[in-house]
Amino acid sequence: GEDVEQSLFLSVREGDSSVINCTYTDSSSTYLYWYKQEPGAGLQLLTYIFSNMDMKQDQRLTVLLNKKDKHLSLRIADTQTGDSAIYFCADRPHGSSNTGKLIFGQGTTLQVKP
Amino acid sequence: DVKVTQSSRYLVKRTGEKVFLECVQDMDHENMFWYRQDPGLGLRLIYFSYDVKMKEKGDIPEGYSVSREKKERFSLILESASTNQTSMYLCASRQGQGAREQFFGPGTRLTVL
């Protein structure tokens, strides 16, 4: 079945850029998502990218999609301590428009040091 | 704003107990989901419902059942709780077919002793 993989941990200094990476196996994905989970909270949608795009920018966030390598990344510019959280990559496979089913990665814990 | 609420933030139960986790959304969404979240495993889909009284198994349905009698409420039931069901449980909802976003509740941390 489909799979989504992420590294588990990333540590950066405040003010640096963070890059969180994700790989997926489904060659027919329609949408790919980045969700953020702050401590003690549920998941919040950060951004998503349609599979026919290769880049999307939203303020400090840049999403890059390499369909050939099935690689998705999230870059956070000027990382702040408030960005410390778990970041989940998720894939919506082709054919799941009706159900909305998502496949999530393991989550990357981002630690921002002052 | 969409609001998804879960009945408890923390719950402690004993092995063998029947456990109900409740989820309510206030935006008339058609689709609702139950996930469990475990460190290093991410979110795994237990069950989902695409309409009232409709349900489908997700990736890890064993040991769980669900109920959706009303559109706004989706319940997860552990018929006989076991220690390996200790986890964070997250509910989500989505407007309906073609909608891009799932909205999540705050989660219920369940401990089974």
Q: Is the pLDDT reported for residue A107 higher than 90? A: yes
Cross-chain residue pair B101–A48, CB shorter than 8 Å: yes
CA-closest candidate to residue A99, choices B68, B30, B8: B30
pLDDT digits (tens, 9 = 90+) for B95-104: 988 788 899 9
C-alpha span between A82 and A101 (Å, rounded):
29
Which positions in chain B have a beta carbon within 8 angstroms of at least one beta carbon in chain A? Answer: 4, 31, 33, 35, 40-45, 48, 50, 56, 58-59, 90, 92, 94, 97-107
Inter-residue contact B68 to B75 (CB < 8 Å): yes
What residues of chain A lie within 8 A of the CB of B58, using their CB? 101
pLDDT digits (tens, 9 = 90+) for A22-57: 999 988 888 899 999 998 889 999 999 998 899 999
Instruction: Output the pLDDT for position B35.
Output: 97
Q: Is the pLDDT reported for residue A99 higher than 80? A: no
Cross-chain residue pair A41–B106, CB shorter than 8 Å: yes
The answer to whether A77 faces chain B, any CB pair under 8 Å, is: no
Cross-chain residue pair A88–B43, CB shorter than 8 Å: yes
Q: Is the pLDDT reported for residue A95 higher than 80? A: no
Instruction: Output the pLDDT for position B60.
Output: 95
Q: Is the pLDDT reported for residue B94 higher than 90? A: yes
Instruction: Output the pLDDT for position B16.
Output: 97
Cross-chain residue pair B42–A106, CB shorter than 8 Å: yes
CB-based contacts of A70, cutoff 8 Å, min separation 6: A23, A24, A25, A26, A27
- Mutate which of B47, B51, B100 to disrupt the A interface (most A C-beta within 10 Å)? B100
Inter-residue contact A58 to A44 (CB < 8 Å): no
Average pLDDT, chain A: 92
Inter-residue contact A43 to A88 (CB < 8 Å): yes
What residues of chain A lie within 8 A of the CB of B59, using their CB? 1
Mean pLDDT of B55-78: 96
> Would you give the end-to-end CA distance of chain B in angstroms?
37
Phi, psi dihedral angles at A46 (to 5 degrees)? -90, -50
Instruction: Output the pLDDT for position A46.
Output: 95
The answer to whether A100 faces chain B, any CB pair under 8 Å, is: yes
pLDDT digits (tens, 9 = 90+) for B6-42: 999 999 999 999 999 999 999 999 999 999 999 989 9
At B83 the three-state DSSP class reads helix
pLDDT digits (tens, 9 = 90+) for B73-91: 999 999 999 999 999 999 9
What residues of chain A lie within 8 A of the CB of B35, using their CB? 104
